[in-house]
Structure 1
């Protein structure tokens, strides 16, 4: 890394409210060393590291940030709903830089080839150890979606990630996709594997019949003489967004009143710093922060937003609550420091560190663990299915090229007119010319309910499905948003107005140039049914066999709806 790159990366610290000297008085030679960027001088006496939405990605990956992340109503043109050049301008970040590549989709192919892969637990472990060495007593928090998202996590029922997260030194976590392993498996891991290593917190998961807590709501720790409390909030809509039969008898929800009661409780017990470890999604966290008192920070996840500067939200007591979100896929590590004196927070610093695999040496112990857990599966993981001529990615409000690949495979294989694929935000990226392996495919489809389906839907039913998902995404009240993206659609064209009222956002549906008729029936393929007992060929077999038959995937242009009703929206290029 040259001096220009180093200065650009240091600039990320400046916009995050950090005043750093030229790291430890480094001269020209040492300032050019790659590791200097990660040499963060200690600040304060209370320290949190935060990661979220790793989605079981143990290895370094490519991950393209969205070019479409639309904010509506109060969220319009507000972080995190800003993309591309507008994002760089909002945070004062230099274009054509490592930071621009980490945080935006801009020139992704060229920048990825130049700057290399991101994440990987072996590289993340090195960074965690460096930060922890400078911050005695610091806690590493994980915001959930840790045990799901890869082939090996699926095949080992999350055990590979449990072992890796313990080795990484995660102290506290909450959950979402973890629950798709089933309640019995989740409790087995917590009772047999996490005990004494990682605390699993979720104040908002209760027994349906009796209201008893399923998990601990919070934990109290003392850090450098300062009492701190961490409260856990699991994804509120787990039984709706995912199959409810995986967690029978459990209720979720935001539970704002109960959360305030827990905050009051830990304050009465002497907590001088209170942090919510959340899997709500950024917009929900921002609203929640405004309605609570006594909460110093929300370290959030679920929506995969990489926000380089903590959002300062005026809370119900007239003070401020910080809201952060640390991206996904092990690509970032957030570091939040508080300076607490005489029981009060005097100052705080926050920074979001991108994990560049070629700037951080792989930790030997973590490397050995990863090699060991992957060894039994390497031949299958490395099986080549096809080669891609274009960039394959998922993230975005409406569609991604890997999603387009999936719906194309479904329509052709199932002889369907239309295909639906869930608006999942997880899934890695592939560069033009890359081979598509079984491991790459599984990073898009590794779930515990992989069945493919074929249904006969009327045009009226199709519109209802699109309207329902659009309301989850664009409802003006964040508490009614579930944080996913729009269902990916193959074959079907439509128009969407994100600002319209519920039930009136979708119009102009057509198929092959012909209007979709409300009373006419259409053959629709899909996958990931939330209903219990659905049978069907697993999605990885359908898409895997289709890829093997194609050998080469041409450049794919994701089918996007016609978007209307937006003007000067910085979340849309």
Structure 2
């Protein structure tokens, strides 16, 4: 193919893919383009998205590193001043991380020419040593201004507060930030300290300014709401590229297909120095690729910007029967939407993915525990109580004292004998993240009453759920709202009564947190999700199946619990 024609073709692809090109910019204006992803969590393959079109729900797969690679190639050819940034949480979430400990991820990110990444909390899930190996393989800087690692020998010198990138004669400063929740929801060890976010950020900005940098980007893993506070508080910052909260930003084009943006993309904030700060984040798992074109004057002030996010849809089905209908039917309604584009996979990256996938088959057959007796699903019986025990142990450092799992979230019985990784994923196939929610005792009781009623109405058979750290009596002879009594919470191996006006932290799957299986407390006259009712909510990012695998691998042998956590009234 003629080189000039090929270059023109790539420019056109990028224009179509992201819906805009830059024209009519003054000669003295400097434009940078920022492409970004966050919270990819080892989703090397495309991930499911539930959409609605013509009032009909359907599922498509989006993202995947071979397709993101292709999109980034087109963007780099079309934009001379392009930054590609990752706002943290590369680690933890799929079997690819379990098998390759982040090294598969970095093998994809390097050829994408990532310019910088900050550390998320999950980068510490396996301790400093695994993170250190990842950084050593990275061809890009890893930055975090509030990390103090001077006494952590494995990370010392590997993470800098900021980096400076020069493009076409202008310096761009990129400083990182990592959530201070990390010691409570991950395993950084005692040698890694997490300093104050705002003070650390302003110190980094001041250091960049003294070096003549007047375009400054904060690459943050503290969550969208905290990013907005940061934007209002700091001076000298132009853009905050965020992660951690898995927040979807966007416009009506996303709302039209059943997605629910939490704010505009970019979100414009007035800073402490009365300048404009643009806050962006790109949802999760690489399903969306964020892109913002920003025009600066000679003093580094934002003149104008154009931004948009694109849902990256593979142009053919990807080992997913549920998407076949979408690809075989009239796709005009989705593909004509400016936020959705079909993208061809990068052939080199696709072959690499195949190479990483092949060994997974053997990995999935690995034995991780032994069941000394059949584990059949029933009240207080089978895998369910063990799953809740694993969730509670994992989230105890976050303050959780109760873990609850819906019966429908436990999909199979486990026979006596060896339990493999494949068995664990079959047991919990939905790969829900775990939330820690702060609720009153009365709200927890209300939600349990609600899900019991939901099961009775739906299944017409005796209901049950699984719990750890919680006990109660269930009386099915009573009417709705009066079936749960004698609720107790386990404190240091002793059960004490649950106080209705006391707040407790409970750990549940994302499905339950969003009101799945009718697990919905009342708020005023309406039933709402626990996520909405909670006085605080943290998406830990831990995947329920991964947590269970880690837990039973340590136990080695399993048998049915003897504790009657949920008692049935006679």
Q: Fold conserved (TM > 0.5)?
A: yes
Q: Does 1:376 align with 2:359?
A: yes
- 1:219 offset after TM fit, Å? 0.6
Residue equivalent to 2:21:
41
Equivalent positions of 1:449-460 (< 5 A) are none
Residue equivalent to 1:278:
220
- 1:445 offset after TM fit, Å? 5.8
Separation (CA, whole Å) in 1 of partners of 2:80 and 2:248: 26
- 1:567 offset after TM fit, Å? 8.4
- 1:168 offset after TM fit, Å? 2.5
Unmatched runs of 5 consecutive residues or more in structure 1: 1-23, 25-30, 66-94, 98-105, 384-407, 425-433, 451-465, 475-486, 496-507, 525-555
Separation (CA, whole Å) in 2 of partners of 1:34 and 1:256: 36
Separation (CA, whole Å) in 2 of partners of 1:34 and 1:47: 12
Residue equivalent to 1:545:
none
Q: Does 1:62 align with 2:19?
A: no
Deviations 1:71-97 (A, max 9, x none): xxxxxxxxxxxxxxxxxxxxxxxx838
Q: Which of these residues, 262, 265, 271, is aligned with residue 207 of structure 2?
A: 265
247 and 514 in structure 1: CA distance in 2 versus 1, 3 angstrom threshold: same
Residue equivalent to 1:178:
123
Deviations 1:272-329 (A, max 9, x none): 2111111101111111111111111111111111102111112111222111110001
1:218/1:229 contact within 8 Å kept: yes
- 1:374 offset after TM fit, Å? 1.6
Report the secondary structure of 2:84's partner residue.
strand
Q: Does 1:323 align with 2:252?
A: no
380 and 519 in structure 1: CA distance in 2 versus 1, 3 angstrom threshold: closer
Separation (CA, whole Å) in 2 of partners of 1:142 and 1:322: 16
2:521/2:528 contact within 8 Å kept: no
- 1:438 offset after TM fit, Å? 6.8
- 1:227 offset after TM fit, Å? 1.4
Residue equivalent to 2:381:
412
Report the secondary structure of 1:46's partner residue.
strand
Separation (CA, whole Å) in 1 of partners of 2:352 and 2:239: 33
- 1:214 offset after TM fit, Å? 6.8
Taking structure 2 as the reference length, the TM-score comes to: 0.59
- 1:418 offset after TM fit, Å? 10
2:145/2:161 contact within 8 Å kept: yes
Q: Does 1:111 align with 2:58?
A: yes
35 and 134 in structure 1: CA distance in 2 versus 1, 3 angstrom threshold: closer
**CA RMSD of the aligned region, Å?**
4.6
Equivalent positions of 1:525-544 (< 5 A) are none
Q: Does 1:364 align with 2:347?
A: yes
Separation (CA, whole Å) in 1 of partners of 2:213 and 2:202: 14
- 1:515 offset after TM fit, Å? 2.0
Separation (CA, whole Å) in 2 of partners of 1:341 and 1:135: 18
Residue equivalent to 1:538:
none
2:227/2:242 contact within 8 Å kept: yes
Which protein has the bigger strand share?
Answer: 2
Separation (CA, whole Å) in 2 of partners of 1:210 and 1:377: 33
1:205/1:214 contact within 8 Å kept: no
488 and 339 in structure 1: CA distance in 2 versus 1, 3 angstrom threshold: farther
- 1:381 offset after TM fit, Å? 5.2
Taking structure 1 as the reference length, the TM-score comes to: 0.58
Separation (CA, whole Å) in 2 of partners of 1:288 and 1:362: 37
Please tell me whether Structure 1 or Structure 2 has the larger radius of gyration of its CA atoms. 2
Q: Does 1:122 align with 2:66?
A: yes
Q: Which of these residues, 294, 304, 314, is aligned with residue 347 of structure 1?
A: 304
Report the secondary structure of 2:163's partner residue.
strand
- 1:179 offset after TM fit, Å? 0.9
Deviations 1:516-543 (A, max 9, x none): 445788999xxxxxxxxxxxxxxxxxxx
2:249/2:266 contact within 8 Å kept: yes
Q: Greater relative contact order: 1 or 2 (C-alpha under 8 angstroms, separation 6 or more)?
A: 1
Deviations 1:86-128 (A, max 9, x none): xxxxxxxxx838xxxxxxxx85xx332xxx3111111111111
Q: Which of these residues, 148, 169, 182, is aligned with residue 113 of structure 2?
A: 169
Report the secondary structure of 1:228's partner residue.
strand
1:173/1:199 contact within 8 Å kept: yes
